[in-house]
Amino acid sequence: MPDVEYMLFCCRNLEHTCGFRVQSKTKEEAMEHARAHMSSEQGMTEIPKETERKIEEAIKPVYV
């Protein structure tokens, strides 16, 4: 059984022109980074539910 090495978030899945990527140990951590990135970059003070869902979908586990 492969181990999950890390969770990878690519902003490109949401914003096709954005090259932001972040990797974290857990999905929750990746979500945090993604949220922070969205709010600083898109100037969102609150992340809409829809965006939150897209972020979650964009986070993929990377196996070794």
Residues in touch with Zn ion (CB under 5 A): 11, 15, 18, 20
Nearer to Zn ion, 2 or 19 (CB): 19
Contact 18, 41 (CB under 8 A): yes
Q: Which of 28, 26, 30 is nearest to 10 (CA)?
A: 30
CB of 42 to Zn ion, least distance (A): 7
CB of 2 to Zn ion, least distance (A): 28
Nearer to Zn ion, 6 or 20 (CB): 20
Nearer to Zn ion, 42 or 63 (CB): 42
Contacts of 3 (CB under 8 A, 6+ apart): 63, 64
Q: Is 51 helix (H, G, I), strand (E, B) or coil?
A: helix
